[in-house]
Amino acid sequence: MELKWIEDFLSLAETRSFSRSAELRYVTQSAFSRRIRSLEVWLGTVLLDRSTYPITLTADGRQFLETAEEVVRLLTLSRAEFRNRSERSSLPVVTITALHSLCLSFLPGWLTEIRAAVGPLASRVLPENFNICIQALVEGGYDLLLTYHHPGIPIPLDPERYPYHVVGRDSLVAVVAPDRVSPDGQGRLPLLQYSRGSFLGRLASIAQAREGAPPTYPVHTNENSMAEALKSMALGGHGVAWLPRSLVAEEIAAGALTVVSAEMLMEIRLYRSGERGRPFLDEVWAAAALDASNYAIQE
């Protein structure tokens, strides 16, 4: 059982609409429906009467509503206590959720710049996949979200509620270990892929469809969708991988990997919730306010 299932149920009890609650929870309606059904399966009962419109709660649903509200209330109080404890520490704390690859390549240098601008600070970082990063920001557990952005994949955040700064840029490049991977009889190279539907996987699909991409055929899919794992496979001579240039810059410079594609530019964006804040976070946000035109993608 997952906490988000309970929060989904509470949203649905309020809106009485699957489509509206799915929108508020930043998931597709089909995914939202599956999560509600998973909660019912876990509880062993039906919580909703789906034959009515708007939907209504069953007797068990009304009984569980009280339990769900109390569970979320207690967990929220605990989280607030822990966050307040962090804020009472000797250093102000900023919490950041970020894509795995950005935690390795971009975040350390960016934090150095922020510390130079605002003074000493402590940081708590959650490296995760794109969907969990979005959830961590929306549900209030983290102050900031650091992610890649390309016009081909919209970020599912309302810019009015979740403003952003463009804090850098990177590019996606296809790389291969030189002299270790040979084309097949049709001139194609073996392709190392991200898991289906992953954020970097979707970016890689856009890049692979562009002019200048090498002809490929799939040989390996990495189910955890971590760019670092595909980088290791590429270094091992298993095929071509689309990776952020910042993650492989040293290997390219050393000749361990060779670029075999035209690069696809990406922004690095920093998001926050416009509805939550505190003075120190506002200082960090102001320090991160770079001129977005310096990083605009020119397609």
Buried b (16+ CB within 10 A) or exposed e, 12-36: bbebebbeebbbbbbbeeeebbebb
Cross-strand bridge partners of residue 174: 242
Pick the CATH number of 3-85 from 3.30.870.10, 1.10.10.10, 1.10.645.10, 1.10.8.60: 1.10.10.10
For residues 9-17, give the mean pLDDT.
92
pLDDT digits 0-9 by tens, 89-117: 578 889 999 999 999 999 999 999 999 99
Q: From CA 160, how far away is CA 77, in angstroms rounded?
A: 27
pLDDT digits 0-9 by tens, 222-264: 876 689 999 999 999 999 999 999 999 999 999 999 999 989 9
* Cβ-based neighbours of 294, under 8 Å, separated by 6 or more: 166
- Which amino acid belongs to residue 63? Q
Query: For the domain 170-266, what is the CATH superfamily, name and number?
Result: Periplasmic binding protein-like II (3.40.190.10)
At residue 57, the pLDDT reads 93
- Is the confidence at residue 81, as pLDDT, over 90? no
pLDDT digits 0-9 by tens, 274-299: 888 788 899 999 999 864 445 544 44
At residue 73, the pLDDT reads 82
* Cβ-based neighbours of 282, under 8 Å, separated by 6 or more: none
Q: How far is CA 184 from CA 19, 98, 187, 190, 217, in A?
A: 48, 38, 5, 8, 9
Q: Does residue 150 contact residue 267 with C-beta atoms inside 8 Å? A: yes
Domain layout of the chain by residue ranges: 3-85, 91-167+268-295, 170-266
- Is the confidence at residue 192, as pLDDT, over 90? yes
pLDDT digits 0-9 by tens, 116-127: 999 999 998 999
- Higher-confidence position of 231 and 79: 231
CATH topology classification for 91-167+268-295 = D-Maltodextrin-Binding Protein; domain 2 (3.40.190)
pLDDT digits 0-9 by tens, 15-70: 999 999 988 888 888 889 999 999 998 898 999 998 888 899 999 999 999 899 88
| pTM score, whole prediction | 0.71
Burial of 289 (0-12, 13-18, 19+ CB in 10 A): exposed
